Amino acid sequence: MYEKMTFRFILDRMLSSIPNDIDKREGSIIYDALAPAALELARFYSELDIVINETFADSAGREMLIRRSAERGVLPLPATPAVVLGEFDFILKMGTRFSLGELRYKVIEMFAPHQYKLICENAGTVGNKTSGELIPVDYVDNLTSAKIIQLLVPGTDGEATEDLRRRYFKSLEIQSFGGNISDYKKAALSIEGVGGVKVYPAFNGGGTVKLVIQDHQWGIPSSALLNSVRAEIDPFEHSGLGEGLAPIGHRVTVEPITGEVIDIRAEFTFAQGWSFSSMKADLLDIIDRFYKDLACEWSSSENAYSENIIVRSSLLEARLYNESKGRIINISNIFLDDGRVIWKNKTLTPDCIPLKGVVTNSYVG
295 Cβ neighbours under 8 A, 6+ residues apart: 196, 214, 218, 219, 309, 353, 354
Residues 331-348 pLDDT 10s: 988 999 877 778 888 899
Last residue of a domain, one of 226, 256, 286: 256
Residue 103 lies in a domain: yes
Tell whether 98 and 120 lie within a shared domain.
Answer: yes
Domain shared by 208 and 270, yes or no: no
CA proximity to 258, closest of 298, 286, 316, 303: 298
Place 365 in a pLDDT band, splitting at 50, 70 and 90: very low
How many domains are there within the chain? 4
Q: Are 301 and 181 in contact (CB under 8 A)?
A: no
How confident is the model at residue 1, as a pLDDT? Answer: 63
Co-location of 92 and 48 in the same domain: no
Long-range CB contacts for residues 243-250, cutoff 8 Å, separation at least 24:
245/187, 246/179, 246/184, 246/209, 247/178, 247/179, 249/207, 250/179, 250/207, 250/208, 250/209
Residue 175 pLDDT: 60
Together in a domain, 87 and 133: yes
The residues, ordered by sequence, that sit 6+ positions from 338 with a Cβ below 8 Å of its Cβ are 260, 261, 262, 263, 346
pLDDT in tens, 26-36: 889 999 999 99
| CB 211, CB 252: distance < 8 Å | yes
| Position 277 in a domain | yes
Task: Classify residue 115: in a domain, yes or no.
Answer: yes
Identify whether residues 230 and 270 lie together within a single domain: no
Does the pLDDT at position 40 exceed 60?
yes
| Pairwise pLDDT comparison (361 vs 173), residue with the higher score | 361
Q: Are strands 194-201 and 208-215 parallel, antiparallel or unpaired?
A: antiparallel
Rounded distance, CA 344 to CA 365, Å?
24
**69 domain-assigned:** no
Q: Quick check: pTM over 0.75? A: no
pLDDT at 280 over 60: yes
Whether 128 maps to a domain, the answer reads yes
Plot region of 241 (φ>0 → left; ψ -120 to 50 → alpha; else → beta): alpha
Judged against a pLDDT cut of 50, whether residue 353 lies above it is answered with: yes
- Give pLDDT tens digits for 63-112: 999 999 998 888 888 888 999 999 999 889 999 999 999 999 999 999 98
Residue 302 belongs to domain spanning: 260-361
